[in-house]
Chains A and B, each alone.
Chain A
């Protein structure tokens, strides 16, 4: 084959290869949200309440223990599962019951959940139950919110403050 034609073909082949490299390095574009959608992230890092009430130990019982073991409260290790729910305009958009982690079910859980929602004004209700001995929510928040398209709203349960925070 003529040398010039070979070079032309080489240029074509290089262009084809680099064309594939360029295209798939950018396209097809990934549509994370539809038009006029926003994102809510519901998150918590929390340890449920003990499944049984703690009992205050008597003085006699404490004296029978080694000095370094003398804790005033006697608690079982197992923690309650955590039930959580997010409602928007009266409709449940997220609901989950997460069991405690660990071999002895004594660990907390971490939740990080993305939920796509329509932008606009909404009425939000969020609650969790972290105590198996209590029926219904142990913490709740009800609030009107306004979401812009592409807005990322974080609804976090702050365990140390014991309340929901919306950012």
Chain B
């Protein structure tokens, strides 16, 4: 078993815990991005409702929030609590999302763009929350306003002190109009734009959380809102400095630092952390393999690879080689993750073609061409001995399967389960393998996003290229697990061997001498 660092091991154990109760389809740790979007929707809808009753004036802001909290607790009060707790849940979800990508090493290499465009989103979310706290205009709001101003005063490009605005009656209704505009429109527009950039290099992006998870999260938010409604501190008073404040640590965590540090030092810390996070993909860098190559003579421009590419790295253009097809595909090398899913998508990756000559497919991986894989599979099956000959097609990013090789078990590695052409499974069975055992990342957690999904759809016949009906499904076994699930893998393989032996016995009993 290959070495797995303790952080990754601990994280995989946590995911496993959630798999037990939620199952793979609803595991919240597999849906942290969509869950964050769901919380944004809760914030948006509750925010719209709150805005109806919110008074954007110095004298009315606090009173209107108090009215919503106490007089209309059953509607606006609940909405306020939903707004507050969903905002906190967003930050927690984003932190978990970042930790997940880090612990599973999904932030370097071809993923650098998603990582560095994700970091500013945290800034946008936090500043959006901070302006939200200003609007309540209670003691906490005044604290946040003054501390924020002190931070802003340290910036060299501001012409005048912001902090000194809070000395006299210089805060007026216009200030609340400005803050309202920032919180309700300005910052959310920036955030939406930043989120769009964040997912720009992904194809088939889902921003909708699974229904069950969304319902469960909303009910949990609602219960929390009813049990512990969000309330304000006392009204803002310039003549008072409250000794104790219940600050929201998800948003206001840097402010207490100003007690002992200068504003400049706090800026150095926050900017330093931000820059460090943004440089992480290169500390150290992770090399992505060579990009996929198109062989136009074998490409009929069916576009299946472009539809399947999880990173939008394949585009379609008009034919350039004079062939009779209308289109051809082009690989955008700077976007290619070298996952090989396109190879599995290509009809030309059929190993039954050109049996006596070199197999060339429409799109191929130069570091592991389909011809080499066919030769490897052929040689591996030829070398097998014993009763139940099994070939394992293993995903490189899932469980370590190399140690399973034995006299009756051969292993062939793929970059991703989605790289396996369905015809390669038929080919292995036709060549003499009694069974094909396919390993992949945990369901819902494919390293290359869609490999498992495309494989399943091809297997079920709902996505091209399909696994033909005549391929005996009983001799194909799919096993998906985390890298730490070695015991499960051995158990599952033993079970598969038993079932193959049973099949043989049944075939013998029913007079089927040759199951192939």
The answer to whether B194 has its CB under 8 Å from any CB of chain A is no
Number of interface residues of B (CB under 8 A): 46
Which one of B149, B221, B242, B243 contacts A35 once the chains associate, using CB atoms below 8 Å? B243
Distance of A47 Cα from B255 Cα, bound (Å): 29
Which one of A25, A29, A38, A110 contacts B160 once the chains associate, using CB atoms below 8 Å? A110
The A interface, classified by DSSP as helix, strand, loop or mixed, is mixed
The answer to whether B297 has its CB under 8 Å from any CB of chain A is no
The answer to whether A34 has its CB under 8 Å from any CB of chain B is yes
Complex contact B92–A150 (CB within 8 A): no
Task: Provide the residues of chain A in CB contact with B150, threshold 8 Å.
Answer: 112
Which one of B28, B220, B242 contacts A15 once the chains associate, using CB atoms below 8 Å? B220
Task: Provide the residues of chain B in CB contact with A110, threshold 8 Å.
Answer: 153, 160-161, 163-164
Distance of A112 Cα from B150 Cα, bound (Å): 8
Distance of A149 Cα from B238 Cα, bound (Å): 14
Complex contact A17–B216 (CB within 8 A): no
The answer to whether B264 has its CB under 8 Å from any CB of chain A is no
Complex contact A33–B241 (CB within 8 A): yes
Task: Provide the residues of chain B in CB contact with A1, threshold 8 Å.
Answer: 20-21
A-B contact count (CB 8 A): 119
The answer to whether A146 has its CB under 8 Å from any CB of chain B is no
Task: Provide the residues of chain A in CB contact with B223, threshold 8 Å.
Answer: 18
Knowing A14-B217, A43-B164, A110-B161, say if A25 contacts B21 (CB, 8 Å): no
The answer to whether A31 has its CB under 8 Å from any CB of chain B is yes
The answer to whether A57 has its CB under 8 Å from any CB of chain B is no
A100-138: CB near B (< 8 Å → 1, else 0) gives 000000000010100000000000000000000000000
Task: Provide the residues of chain A in CB contact with B18, threshold 8 Å.
Answer: 13
Distance of A28 Cα from B237 Cα, bound (Å): 23
Distance of A149 Cα from B239 Cα, bound (Å): 11
Distance of A29 Cα from B249 Cα, bound (Å): 9
Chain A residue with the shortest CB-CB distance to B165: A112
List 22 A-B pairs, Cβ < 8 Å: A1-B20, A6-B22, A10-B216, A13-B18, A13-B22, A14-B217, A17-B220, A20-B92, A21-B89, A22-B228, A24-B250, A25-B85, A25-B250, A26-B246, A29-B246, A30-B246, A33-B241, A35-B243, A43-B163, A110-B164, A151-B239, A167-B167
Contacts A13-B22, A45-B161 aside, 7 further interface pairs with beta carbons under 8 A come to: A6-B21, A10-B21, A17-B92, A18-B89, A31-B243, A31-B244, A151-B239
Interface of B toward A, CB cutoff 8 Å: 18, 20-23, 28, 84-85, 88-89, 92, 143, 149-150, 153, 160-161, 163-164, 167, 216-217, 219-221, 223-224, 228, 230, 237-250, 255-256, 259
Q: What are the 9 A-B residue pairs with the smallest beta carbon separation, nearest first?
A: A9-B21, A110-B161, A112-B163, A39-B241, A14-B220, A33-B243, A152-B241, A26-B246, A24-B249
